[in-house]
Structure 1
């Protein structure tokens, strides 16, 4: 049970944001006048517009200069978005919730929800209009082959610690139910699944888990990573991939994912998200209101912190504006 022994209480980084108390799921979210300033955990492009998701099932769509909230069929905390094109998108979140839109985020249908699982989905990715995966806490991994109409659970035992494999094998021969109960919580949290330009998938998670797949996530190879803390996100920029995580840890690697170089940051806050803007700058955001800019020549500078905030996502819209989301909602980055 090595993974359970090593696991902290997940009270740091993005996981601490996801543990924010929220109302239990009910029939549908309610339109709230202050939704734009509520906890919003992701922003994603849907064609020429942007969509953001967060607490109580809130979904907001950027309409010109204004963010407009739309109704959803849940009020569970939503954690992540993915749009395949300007129309088809999915959102995932707590209570094992998966939502689907066919009109660019204007309306949403519930495809899955299970409060009994007591696990949140933390990311979602579709390869085409039929095939997709959703991942989350304690190795939560579901796959759909029919646009999300049905979802099938997968268990990726290849990502277990060797000690946990032996432990589960012993349990299975003694007590099948106990084996299933223990198995459900032995894998690390899967925080982010990222498609790489060569068709591979990069999976990031708790306890320094970095894994790669060449078969759409049917199997993964765990990499010998240089850090044993949680990793929350990654961004591919040309021939370099940047991985970001707990306590200001930022690493750079080439497309082979063979060697990882740590990049020293001027702060030690957890790094949650990144984007590259049209001018070639790369922006990183994180806890403690952290906003960093990396110039095309690799120089990193810190913007004035947004005091009292934790920032999770950053993106540039079609008009060149840069938007941030986090504990204070979605706001435009000033002074960039």
Structure 2
């Protein structure tokens, strides 16, 4: 399976050396190191939480930026690349990352504890894969001429082999997206089709195996919409939708084969999905159908942000930003650094915060009056 470019980017950037880290054992057990340079290293995701911003990134770095622009590094129990975060209120949040790690905070991001990692996920995957293979083997034995059952059994046996191999190789599957509907119910998605859910705030997690993804394509992002629907975006343009809190999932219309990396819902209810090679899709019916949006540049896009004034920003490769006043027509702009941008946020004072391969960049409000490309 070919790794998606954004996933490859995170793998490469996340493996850049951090001082003395290579000499320490087991990155799932050692705490992230406190450093004044954390805001200059790779940062992957960001969310406004109360009156401050929380950012995650390389080497277990989690940063809090307050309304005065002061940065504080959180206490984090792991030293590995974190890829995504989600808060349900000003206190409760979750972050996910490499080696299947899931972290939880109860104090707005100041301190974090580990809820799960790949060493616990692997046996969960193996158990589900074994049960599915056994079930389909019995069904196929009872109906040997059923071609669909035979295909499903082949896929299940392949998944079982993969789960057995993962158990041998260790906690190597990255999680790439996380979203919670409330303090109890949440979902996490990741590389090679990994999909987890919790109903108790992350105290326990279960493998979700009702997604039509036999090739175990990467699942890159998951969000919930205001009407209660859940959307997953992934490799190869795959989009999945659930309207019953994740009990069942349907693969939606797929207008592109380009991998999709990020999702958001605008205040008018429209849903945007963005990804490889300047792909941008929009849905006005809660993700049931999607239409492509033409963009002036064909750069991969990793972040979407709707501003206080209703404008929309897309962040992507080469420091490129695409800005729209209506969510439909975009003009290009470039950040001061040409490093890849992975997400955007806005402070209450109107400043734009850009994060990515070069760390944190702060722009004044309304920098888009004239295109910078």
Instruction: Give the TM-score of the pair, scaled to structure 1.
Output: 0.85
CA distance in 1: counterparts of 2:51 and 2:8, whole angstroms: 30
1:284 aligns with 2:302: no
Shift of residue 61, structure 1, vs aligned partner: 0.4
1:54 aligns with 2:54: no
Contact map agreement 1:14 1:312 (CA 8 A) in 2: no
Shift of residue 30, structure 1, vs aligned partner: 0.6
Root mean square deviation, CA, Å = 1.8
Equivalent residue number for residue 119 of structure 1: 173
Instruction: Out of 254-263 and 146-155, give the one that drifted further.
Output: 254-263
- The structure 1 residue matched to 2:278, chosen from 239, 248, 257, is 248
1:187 aligns with 2:181: no
Equivalent positions of 1:34-183 (< 5 A) are 34-63=37-66, 64-114=68-118, 116-156=170-210, 158-160=211-213, 164=214
CA distance in 1: counterparts of 2:43 and 2:236, whole angstroms: 25
CA distance in 1: counterparts of 2:69 and 2:235, whole angstroms: 37
Shift of residue 304, structure 1, vs aligned partner: 2.7
Equivalent residue number for residue 3 of structure 1: none
CA distance in 2: counterparts of 1:94 and 1:107, whole angstroms: 19
Detail structure 1 runs of 4+ shifted over 6 Å in the superposition.
none
Equivalent positions of 1:304-323 (< 5 A) are 304-323=334-353
The structure whose residues are more often helix, as a share, is 2
1:200 aligns with 2:204: no
Contact map agreement 2:270 2:286 (CA 8 A) in 1: no
Contact map agreement 1:253 1:261 (CA 8 A) in 2: yes
Instruction: Out of 18-27 and 122-131, give the one that drifted further.
Output: 18-27
Contact map agreement 1:288 1:306 (CA 8 A) in 2: no
Shift of residue 267, structure 1, vs aligned partner: 1.1
Equivalent residue number for residue 153 of structure 2: none
CA distance in 2: counterparts of 1:39 and 1:297, whole angstroms: 28
CA distance in 1: counterparts of 2:244 and 2:304, whole angstroms: 26
Which runs of 5 or more structure 1 residues have no equivalent in the other structure? 1-6, 165-185
Instruction: Give the TM-score of the pair, scaled to structure 2.
Output: 0.77
User: Kindly tell me: are residues 34 and 297 of structure 1, through their superposed partners in 2, closer, same or farther at Cα, counting changes over 3 Å?
Assistant: closer
Shift of residue 16, structure 1, vs aligned partner: 2.2
Shift of residue 9, structure 1, vs aligned partner: 3.3
Contact map agreement 1:80 1:91 (CA 8 A) in 2: yes
Q: Which has the larger radius of gyration?
A: 2
- SS of structure 1 residue aligned to 2:109: coil
Higher RCO, 1 vs 2 (CA within 8 Å, ≥6 residues apart): 1
CA distance in 1: counterparts of 2:181 and 2:351, whole angstroms: 28
Contact map agreement 2:295 2:329 (CA 8 A) in 1: no
